[in-house]
Amino acid sequence: MRRLSATASPRPRSVWKSFVLGAVRLAVALLALVVMLGALLMGTVLAIGLVTWSLLRGRRPAQGLFTTSFRRARQRSTWAEGAVIDIEAREVPETRGQDDRR
């Protein structure tokens, strides 16, 4: 039975094991790349298909949720365009050594 001392280096990996591990890593990386590109292509084709389908049926494509809500909020706004608001401003002295934020 062979005993390993504290100074003994671990047995080096064989060339075959290194080759197999490298090939497996490369295969996993390529598979991940193919899945990512497939998902990107599927999303693009789906978006183009839905827009085309809605235009062929005579309907405009639905707008995003955020653009619609921002437009509604802007229309409901009571502020006049270019309104000037007069306020009295004062500087607040900075306190050193104390942290008032809690």
C-alpha 7/C-alpha 81 separation (Å) is 79
pLDDT digits (tens, 9 = 90+) for 7-59: 656 667 788 899 999 999 999 999 999 999 999 999 999 999 988 988 898 87
Largest CA distance in the chain: 90
61 within 8 A of 51, measured Cβ to Cβ: yes
* pLDDT score at 92: 86
pLDDT confidence bin for 84, thresholds 50/70/90: confident
Q: Within its chain, how far is the Cα of 10 from the centroid?
A: 42
24 vs 86, higher pLDDT: 24
* pLDDT reading at 63 higher than 60: yes
Q: Which residue has the higher pLDDT, 76 or 24?
A: 24
Across residues 68-74, what is the average pLDDT?
Answer: 70
